[in-house]
Chain A
Amino acid sequence: MEEILSGLLLELRRGSIVLAVLSQLEKPVYGYYLVNLLSKSGVPVEVNTLYPLLRRLEGQGVLESKWETSGSKPRKYYALTQMGSQVYFSLKKNWLALVKSIELLMEGTDNG
């Protein structure tokens, strides 16, 4: 049962990670900062998941990146593009509606 549960949880989280990431990228942020931020906010994301994800979103035009070399270390900062902001906006709307509907659906069931 444990195995099934963890598999289902993983699937459940997979989609929501994107939303969590996008929500923090209105201002430019670098990868590792984001890892710590999300982990503190209760949405831990593996480093080796987040970095490839950021690149993929950049490839899709949702994010844009810039190397910042003025600090002590060079770092790659990611932020939403204009299109990315629109994507985030509608994803967020859908997410909230989904949560509301599912809550309604689950209201009738006993929570143990």
Chain B
Amino acid sequence: MAEFDLVERYIYAVTKKLPHKARKDIAEELRQLILDMLEQRCGEVVPSEHDIRVVLAELGTPSELSEKYSSDKHSALIGPPYYRTYKFVLKIVLLAVSGGLLIAFSISALLGEGGNLFLSILSYLGSLIHGGIFAFGFVTILFAFFERRGIKLNESDESLSSLPPVPKHDERITRAEPIFGIAFSLVFLVVFLFASPWVIGMLLHNGQFVPLFNQETLLRLWPLTAIVFAASTAKEGFKLHEGRYTSRLAIAMLVLNLISFTAMALLMSREGLINEAFLAACEANFHEAGSFMQLFFRNIQTIMVALMGFAVLLETIDGFIKARRYTKG
């Protein structure tokens, strides 16, 4: 019965990817169906292999039939309601990753670190592929998870009365701004964690580069840097999502800015963060004790925290003012 072996192989191919519970039942039903079809085709005559092939062709290829048997639910990793958002987010994340890496590597190439330009470009391309794959995987897994769980991304109800008014020109947040912001925080992350000894510091007259930070301390405190990165990325992402200044955006900005400021302040106020050699070089370079530059670098930690606080404060206030102005009108 070599001919019927073909039938069995066909049935196996159809059912092997179907849910375990239904497999046996579908197989048995298909078997009877094929026998019925053969009987109708050949009557009392024993069907030839050709007959079997014709009947199986009528049923379609195993994968076609199998697809028809599997329920539509979750047949795609990322289905229609999510796919557009997925593509949008993916585009932004990939843009931010490649832009961020490009800026980071341009800086280090400009500073002559790494020496060979060709090798720097190669290593940039390498990181680009690495970072791209990582970002792609991360976003895809996130959205696949949303799809599986049926998590709604747009919580706001779509009833007509709750549709927001069309934003006027200057209350609109252009997409470029948050994308740039995300790229910038990515540069911050890369520089702080990996490149600070070559990027942040002072170039001496003799061509020696003295880093400002102790890289070891920075690396040890990586969670703080990561928090700053996460909070500012979340902030920019929310801006992108809102597309306009609203009060909930202002509140989110306040909270996220507070988080990143706190993390930054904790990081900056840490003892041993500043490289001793840097301070020594300062003393040597700016001879007059009490000169402005010396005072500046002695208090660099306080100054950085103050600057950051000022920037964050400005942005938060700006967010609230704009939200107020535009939600009124």
Contacts and interface: CB of A to CB of B under 8 A. Distances in A.
Contacts of B40: 36
B28 A74 contact: yes
Contact of B68 (A31, A32, A48, A75): A48
A56 interface: yes
B69 interface: yes
A75 B26 contact: no
- How many chain A residues sit at the interface, stated as a range, is 10 to 19
- SS class of chain B's interface: helix, strand, loop or mixed? helix
A36 B26 CA distance: 20
B177 interface: no
B37 A49 contact: no
Interface in B239-296: none
B30 A51 contact: yes
- How many chain B residues sit at the interface, stated as a range, is 20 to 34
Interface string B63-80: 011001101000000000
Contacts, number: 42
B35 interface: yes
A74 B35 CA distance: 11
A68 to B, nearest CB: 10
Given A47-B59, A55-B22, A76 B29 contact: yes
Nearest to A54: B29
B69 A55 contact: yes
A74 B59 contact: no
Given A32-B37, A73-B32, A56 B71 contact: yes
Interface of B: 22, 25-26, 28-30, 32-33, 35-37, 40, 58-60, 64-65, 68-69, 71
Given A31-B29, A51-B30, A74-B28, 6 more contacts: A48-B58, A48-B60, A51-B69, A52-B65, A59-B71, A76-B28
26 contacts: A31-B29, A32-B32, A36-B40, A47-B37, A47-B59, A48-B59, A48-B64, A48-B65, A48-B68, A51-B29, A51-B30, A51-B69, A52-B68, A55-B22, A55-B26, A55-B69, A56-B71, A59-B71, A67-B28, A73-B32, A73-B35, A73-B36, A74-B32, A76-B25, A76-B29, A76-B32
